[in-house]
Structure 1
Amino acid sequence: MTDPAPNSTIPAATPALDGLPGSPAALALLWLATVFAQFALQFVDGATYAHVSAALAPGSLMVLSAVVAGVLLGDRAPTARLIGFALLFLLVVSLIRAVAVAILGVLPEAVERLHLFEAFCALLFLPAGVLALRKLAPMWRTVASASAMALALFAATSWPDTRHGIERALDPLFASNAARLPRSLVYEVAPDQLFDSQQALVDREVDANRAPFNATDTLVLGIAADGSQELFAREAGEALGRIEGRYGARHTSGLLLSNTENDLLRTPLATRANLVRTLAKFTAGRDPSKTTAIVYIAGHGAMNATVATRLPTDDELRPINASFLAKALDEAGIGKRIVIVSACFGGSWIPALANRETIVMAAAAPDRTSFGCDDTRRLTIFGQAMLEGPLAKGAPWQQVFAAARNFVAHEEARLNVEPSDPQSYVGKDMQAVWSEPAKVK
């Protein structure tokens, strides 16, 4: 009996895939490894929270892409090895990024804007590339492969623009004329325009708000890192005004760093890079050791002493945290510091910031949440307690914080929620600043 003729519609196994893992057990272990790698990356990047979906999605997308590629090849045999290749690729890239962050610490701004998950969306071009290699003549396979790689690279680096363009194009299909919302400003601003303008914005704002040269100066920084809520920019902005009034405008320089939509292209973004730029610009030509920096941070906090740092589009930026703030102030040569953290788990900032010349006031204990993070409010509960109490009257910081603790305790008892337990720390050389009234100059 003769062997049946081979089925011409089923291609031979792909030699290039030989040696790649393809057993169910190996693929399961690889997938779990990618999930753990994505969780680790979130913490290496300083993420405020560990997002389960963000950890599961990249590996799952790889598997889906490889399965579709196998279907297009018309043969189930190489599909498992395609999955193995895709997961190995994800794992290697994740490790490379983790090592880069560990070595460089702060990645360049352009790298921070390249979202890892969005880069992997480019692998959706894999099935199309496989189909091209399956159907085209040899000469055109090389052209198709090169084009697919170039297109994938372009998609990975310009995905935010592409996504926003698609959303704008499809908008008329999903919104009636009677119920259209105003088009969001942030979708109209190209990422390059937004980020490339930051140095000029910092220079302009510092020059416009810097007090004349004095023997002693006070720098007030308001940081509204979470651009998804206008509440935090309102609170940080109001803190600037109240604290400037406390010390006198002639000796006080105030600047707001904000990621909210209303502040785009008008106020510097609340990023690590802009924090460093602002301190460098302010201290240029001055004696920073005689400067008191007062930093008011408003946002969503986490137990690892970070605040969520993101644009109104929910695009995550490298988070601002306690250790980075301490390092930035040290490198700028700033002497006395007063840091107010209006965020959940704010007490977790104290260990990294504590020194002889620092005061820290935080909205909550390291393991407690604070309350009032609602855009229908003008201020959070802690922000209201701090800014509408005796602060504006020049009362000592000790009295301001004690009054704030009492107000917060009363409000939380009324709401029947677990007490946030606001925390404070006073360095040895800051006892007089803590206990004496402000001297308006």
Structure 2
Amino acid sequence: MTMIDTAPGPSSPSRPALVALAAIVLSWLAEYAAQVGYHGPGGALSLWGVQMAVAHSAVVVAGLVIGLALVGRMDLLARMVTLLFLLEAVLNLALWTLFREAPQLFQTQGRVEAIRAVSHLVQVALLVRLLRAPLRQWLRAGLVLAAVFLGTKHIALRWFGVEELYVSADAAHSDRVPVDVEALYAAQERLMGAQLAALAPQTPGVPEVFALALGGTAEQSVFLSEVEKVSAILDAQYGAGARALKLANSRDHPTRYPLANRANLARALAEIGARQGAEDLAVLFLTSHGQKDRFALEFPEAGTRDLTAAEFAAMLNDAGIGPAVIVVSACFSGSFIDDIAAPDRLVIAAARADRTSFGCRDGAEWTDFGAAFFDRALRIEPDPRRAFRLAVEEVTRKEAAAGLTPSLPQIAEGEAIGAVLDRVLAR
């Protein structure tokens, strides 16, 4: 009698994992489709957004692994991942549609948190339902799983948002000419040399302002725009034009200014430090993307590497920078304050150490904080301490109206910087 082997083949154990992976990819596609529907067709997929989506999903899966390990139900991992990400795909489509059709529901932070809480409760209900255990065990395991899942979900949303998977049509640049990296680096000495040759010396006994503006991310033109516009405002308010340096990473205009890399930044700071007198003020403005204790100097073709808070602090000290106003405009920029604060420095950050800032869009002229602080507040109030308060009021109103998590800009004033600022402003 012939026996027929009906046991699963060797590939079957991997099938649940493949199905789970397919569900994750489907959730990305749903998010991308929702963003296309909101912003309109004709844009492009964002590599940065893809990286954030992968990181977001990895954090959520890690939370499921931890939660299921704690309750001894690792056998449910593939099923939970599959169903959770399928549900997430549906919820993301629904929320983007709601955001487009009924934006008034997202006009306050309380409403945003309420909508987010409902979404999370639906996801938690699905996970707890899948446990299927006796009542007492089911309740205990459900509480553990829910707590771990909500914690990791909070981390995923806070640090790895997926709102930039899609670059809208107005911001997409499909016709860009490839950057000539060899020519880019060959031009650095000429570009930096020209700026340094034009950098005016200090006038002994006269309080003057030296300025540096740096835009760190090449792929979004808003940072180059801020470098130029902030430099013009600092010249208009403090007469810093003859004592100003500009560094910028720009995909569209790679050789307009020296690269915003760590070597050029250190050199620029050293040149300012060598010229700055004790009565003078340095105004340093850095704008880009950011992470905790990290500021993006991002020009992939040029191989630039991000700047850490500790590295920036060391550069400032090595350069001998004297009294300074330092403005760091980036997500999580408040994390730089502990490293660079000093008695003779006023440090301003666009966001708290655990918060994102907003408005980093290709094609925009300003980020939200840059517009509020420089373009509006500082134009009418040259004292940066007072301008900061005006900017915070505007940013707070705008973020509340848009239903965004507050960025909570920060300021740290050293005890010795006030007198220097007062002398400069008195001129």
Determine if the TM-score, normalized by the shorter chain, exceeds 0.5: yes
Q: Alignment RMSD, CA only?
A: 2.7
Identity %: 31
1:118-137 equivalent positions in 2, closer than 5 A: none
Answering whether residue 180 of structure 2 is matched by residue 193 of structure 1, we say no
Alignment partner of 2:372 out of 385, 389, 395: 385
Unpaired stretches in structure 2, ≥5 consecutive residues: 1-49, 56-172
Alignment partner of 1:352 out of 336, 339, 345: 339
Counterpart secondary structure, 2:416: helix
Alignment partner of 1:244 out of 235, 247, 269: 235
Partner of 2:257: 267
Partner of 1:319: 306
CA 260–323 in structure 1, closer or farther in 2 if over 3 Å, else same: same
Partner of 1:413: 400
Distance 1:349 1:270 in 2: 18
* Paired letter, 1:432: A
- Runs ≥4 residues deviating over 6 A: 49-54
Partner of 1:439: 425
| Number of residue pairs aligned between Structure 1 and Structure 2 | 259
Partner of 2:354: 367
Unpaired stretches in structure 1, ≥5 consecutive residues: 1-48, 55-179
User: Which has the bigger relative contact order, CA under 8 A and spacing at least 6?
Assistant: 2
Partner of 2:219: 228
Kept in 1: contact 2:270–2:318 (CA 8 A): no
Report the structure number with the largest CA radius of gyration: 1
Shift of 1:259: 0.5
Cα deviation digits, residues 329-365 of structure 1 (max 9, x gap): 2112111121111111111010000111111111111
Kept in 2: contact 1:309–1:316 (CA 8 A): no
Distance 2:329 2:416 in 1: 24
Answering whether residue 387 of structure 2 is matched by residue 400 of structure 1, we say yes
Shift of 1:262: 3.5
Counterpart secondary structure, 1:263: coil
* Paired letter, 1:298: T
Question: Normalization by structure 1: what TM-score?
Answer: 0.54
Partner of 1:253: 243
Partner of 1:310: 298
CA 333–315 in structure 1, closer or farther in 2 if over 3 Å, else same: closer
Distance 2:224 2:426 in 1: 26
Distance 1:276 1:345 in 2: 22
Cα deviation digits, residues 142-190 of structure 1 (max 9, x gap): xxxxxxxxxxxxxxxxxxxxxxxxxxxxxxxxxxxxxx95442xx251x
Partner of 2:417: 430
Distance 2:426 2:261 in 1: 31
CA 227–412 in structure 1, closer or farther in 2 if over 3 Å, else same: same
Distance 1:404 1:438 in 2: 21
Cα deviation digits, residues 10-32 of structure 1 (max 9, x gap): xxxxxxxxxxxxxxxxxxxxxxx
* Paired letter, 1:362: A
Partner of 1:299: 288
Distance 2:382 2:208 in 1: 19
* Paired letter, 1:292: L
* Paired letter, 1:390: A
Partner of 2:317: 330
